[in-house]
Amino acid sequence: MLAYSSGNFGKALVFGGADLTILFLLTDVLGLNGAQAAGLMLFAVLGDLVFDLLAARLVLHWRAVGRGYRWTLALAALPCGAAFGLIYAMPALGLHRTWMLAVAILVFRGAYAVVDVPHNALMAQVSRDSRARGRVSGYRLFFSTASALAIATMLTPLVQQAGRTRHFDALAFTGIGAGLAFALTMLLCAWASGGRGESGTASALRGDRIAVPLRDPMVLAMGALALLTGFAMPCFGRMLMYLGTYVVDRPRAVPLLLAALTAGQFGGVLAWTALTHRFSKSRLLGAGHAVSALGLLFFALCMAWPAGQVAGAALIGFGFASVFMLPWGLLADAVDVVEWRHGRRLETGLFAFYLVLVKASGAGATATIGWVLSMLGYVPGAVQPAGVRLGMLGLGLGVPLAGALLAMLLLRRFTLDHGRHARLLRALGRRQAGAEPVSGSNRGLEKSSGEGATLAGGAALSAQARQNMSRSIAAPAAVRS
């Protein structure tokens, strides 16, 4: 599990680094206006929609011929790392044209999708135990947070410095080094993760496809969670460079605030991971959103108090640890729920569905930030008027606060805890062992309803068959219709 989770260090280093700094790089380093930068990020949104689905199809095809997740990770690691290094070397190379930037960003995000889909889908095979998946989510975020520390202490200050001094050599070497570190990390992860998903067991491959049951309440709920997680919550980190530079007028405090955010995440990883053994992932995720909301409010009240801003950033980071780590464990459980309900283990398809939404919404948020700043009259490097500063506060604090409140309401509908998931696995085991087909499900949401399916994909059984099923050993706890 640790070997698998270590891949998140490299993934977060390049994708998290780009996510946090690329808008500032485009506007304040490469000289694009807000509308041009937003257009590029919208272009990236469209690219993500294509790349993640194409990557899922490639993974399904390669798994069918015996080339599994590890082979795919190794194949795409070097091109992705090289594309990331190129983006941050473009200012030093004098490559400022918009079409050049668009090509580099598309190549990077396309290669990253080929890495990201199989690496995340592998989580459903690393362990099938709900508690263990909570721990794996914590391990993943631990490695992601370690890379966030590197981003806060190295990449972010270099991007800021390049915007002020117009010296780009150090930024180029750092980008190339980060791309190389990503490639080496993913190759190590592929080598050390053993044979999981290499050829695929019958259970892992059964019925896997891109098309997922979009009308299933569990799938809809995970999609809504993906949109909130990708669009709203990261706005604080994306706007932190703007808030520090133009709102509180303390640009040198940005690395300190990012370090506090990262330190809070480290503490949150340890706390939330320890709690996953006792509490369901959905309850802990709702609690994480609540802590994040409190941190955002505290940060807003401390705009004139530097020490309070640092404390607020740490509290936000503590909550973000739950916000960004636990949805992946919920998604792995959703694979089992959908398998129970529809008779197909849509492992690759469900992870691709979630990734498309979370990454496209993230890029859409970056594009929205660019458009809003452009409409407000933002001028890079200048003293910003009150309206622009107020807009920055709304984007950086108001949007994630609203997202946290909506996520808390959504998560109240999730009812799949550790005990119910364990009973669901036992019922799936009985079905795979040749027991009588079943229908109906508790999809992890209250008041779920809809058409059931047999293992062969037929229509739902009759009410009498469901009543008989409810008398079986495993079904009373696993089925709630």
Q: pLDDT tens digits, residue range 284-318?
A: 999 999 999 999 999 999 888 888 999 999 999 99
- Tokens 């079905």 belong to residue: 431
Partners of 414 in the beta sheet?
445
pLDDT at 208: 61
Tens digits of residue pLDDT in 247-256:
887 877 888 8
CA-closest candidate to residue 74, choices 62, 89, 85: 62
pLDDT score of 194: 63
pLDDT band for 462, please (50, 70, 90 cuts): very low
Average the pLDDT over each of 131-140, 165-174, 412-421, 429-438 and give the range with the smallest value: 429-438
354-407: pLDDT as tens digits: 888 887 888 788 778 888 888 888 887 778 888 888 999 999 999 999 999 999
Predicted TM-score of the model (pTM): 0.69
pLDDT value at position 314? 94
| CB-side neighbour CA atoms (13 Å) of 343 | 15
Contacts of 55 (CB under 8 A, 6+ apart): 113, 114, 116, 117, 118, 352
Q: Is the pLDDT of residue 449 over 50?
A: no
Mean local confidence (pLDDT), 220-246? 88
Q: Which amino acid is at 375?
A: M
Q: Count of CB atoms within 10 A of residue 124's CB?
A: 25
Q: What's the average model confidence in pLDDT over 31-44?
A: 74
pLDDT (mean) for 434-438 = 49
pLDDT band at 209 (very low <50, low <70, confident <90, very high): low
**Residue 120 pLDDT grade (very low, low, confident, very high; cuts 50, 70, 90):** confident
Query: What are 40's two structure tokens?
Result: 């590029």
The whole-angstrom separation of Cα 83 and Cα 103 is 10
Q: Is the pLDDT assigned to residue 426 strictly greater than 80?
A: yes
Provide the pLDDT for residue 470: 40
- Check pLDDT > 80 for residue 468: no
Q: What share of the chain is helix, strand, coil (3-state, %, to 5)?
A: 75, 0, 25
The structure tokens listed for 159 are 């991007």
pLDDT at residue number 28: 75
Residue 115 has pLDDT above 80, yes or no: yes
Q: Average pLDDT of 71-77?
A: 83
**pLDDT tens, 177-204?**
889 989 998 888 888 776 544 444 444 4
